[in-house]
Amino acid sequence: MELENKEVQARPERKKKIFSGVQPSGTITLGNYIGAIRNWVKLQDDYDCAFAMMDMHTITVRQTPAELRRRTLELMALYIACGIDPKKSILFIQSHNSAHAELAWILNCYTYMGELQRMTQFKDKSARHADNINAGLFTYPVLMAADILLYQADAVPVGKDQMQHIEICRDVAGRFNALYGNVFTIPEGLLVKSGAKIASLQEPTKKMSKSDSNPKGYISMMDDFGVIAKKIKSAVTDSEGVIEYRPDDDAKAGVNNLLSIMAVMTDSTPERVAADFAGQGYGALKSAVAEAVVEGIRPIRAEYDKIIKDKAYLKDIYTTGAERACGIANRTLKKVYKKVGFVTD
């Protein structure tokens, strides 16, 4: 009897996994959008993604509870308005998954004090909040490691300033794996090639930050369009008067920053933008950047305004997202519990 030939279908290659999140601790800046959220949107088709509102990290600094709840939902609405698709990605609130805190405690027991003392963020935040140097601030990187390792993330999209957190996560995961076998995926930091670090408009050698004491230094995604244009037009440049992209020259930091913003918002490169504006003045560049930013944000704001009013829709998204996140995270946590000797059955 002749065997019937059957076409053997190849098993589809597993998509790599990504985890990331933003703290709902204040306004979301243009820097957050360009350096993080905008790039997450592009990653959704090629990776299995989980994105969180990192409210547990937020409370290392004192928060007003009602404001934190409001900002958490606003951040979720903004994620979706920017293009994060809840059908493609897991979108959830960090505190809705207790596995984050549970794994963080275990990883605390495998993280050395010296490693945490070297963390730049702890030193910086301790200096800014000298009246509240709490244990959570010190062990913040351990919770961040738990966030990532729970989802067996292959990669974490980060800026250069966050690479130290990825390194300690890798060290702790490697230490745990060396003791108990292949428990955790060791994640890589996925550096964004363009627009990863958008600088302050007033101090262009520093990162754009929502904690900037000068509101002219950052652009909020919620700013009035007229305010956005005014902030960009008052951006610090230099006295040279030449539009060139020189990324290694701090003297050109202000112009470099404007060129980088324009490049990202128009899907170009800083070098190409500089060539387009060669021979023109800084005023022309600033006007063009202001228009590009406003027109880029306009449809996001229109979508956000619709989403934020639909509380039932948002609740459905974060409830469904938490269920999916917990399902993945609890599988990892159960394996960890068993490895360290906890009774699990």
- pLDDT above 70: residue 260: yes
The better pLDDT of the pair 36, 140 is held by: 140
The reported pLDDT for the residue numbered 120 is 81
Residue 3 confidence class, pLDDT cut points 50, 70, 90: very low
- pLDDT above 70: residue 5: no
- pLDDT above 50: residue 24: yes
- pLDDT above 90: residue 122: no
Region 167-179 average pLDDT = 97
d(CA 90, CA 326): 11
With a CB cutoff of 8 Å and minimum separation 6, the contacts of 324 are 90, 92
What the block records as the tokens of 15 is 């998509």
- For the question of residue 210 being annotated catalytic, the response is yes
pLDDT single digits (tens) 220-233: 999 999 999 999 99
Give me the catalytic one of 17, 125, 231, 252.
125
Residue 159 confidence class, pLDDT cut points 50, 70, 90: confident
Region 151-159 average pLDDT = 91
Cβ proximity of 146 and 100 under 8 Å: yes
- pLDDT above 80: residue 43: yes
The reported pLDDT for the residue numbered 27 is 80
pLDDT single digits (tens) 328-342: 999 999 999 999 999
- Domain boundaries of the chain, sorted by first residue: 16-191+311-340, 215-307
pTM, full prediction: 0.87
| β-bridge partners, 17 | 48
Give me the catalytic one of 16, 88, 197, 210.
210
**H or E element at residue 283:** helix 282-307
- pLDDT above 90: residue 25: no
The fold adopted by the segment(s) 16-191+311-340 is Rossmann fold (3.40.50)
The reported pLDDT for the residue numbered 11 is 52
Region 70-95 average pLDDT = 96
Region 52-61 average pLDDT = 94
SS3 of 167-210: HHHHHHHHHHHHHHCCCCCCCEEEECCCCCCCECCCCCCCECCC
- For the question of residue 207 being annotated catalytic, the response is yes
- 157 phi and psi, to 5 degrees? -70, 120
Does 215-307 match 16-191+311-340 at the fold level? no
The reported pLDDT for the residue numbered 211 is 78
Region 15-41 average pLDDT = 89
The radius of gyration computed from the CA coordinates of the chain, to the nearest angstrom, equals 22
- For the question of residue 87 being annotated catalytic, the response is no
279 φψ region: left (φ > 0), alpha (ψ -120 to 50), beta (else) = left
The reported pLDDT for the residue numbered 119 is 85
The better pLDDT of the pair 127, 198 is held by: 198
The reported pLDDT for the residue numbered 237 is 95
The fold adopted by the segment(s) 215-307 is Tyrosyl-Transfer RNA Synthetase (1.10.240)
| β-bridge partners, 190 | 157
pLDDT > 90 in the chain, percent: 75
Q: What angle do CA 170, 209, 142 make, to 5 degrees?
A: 25
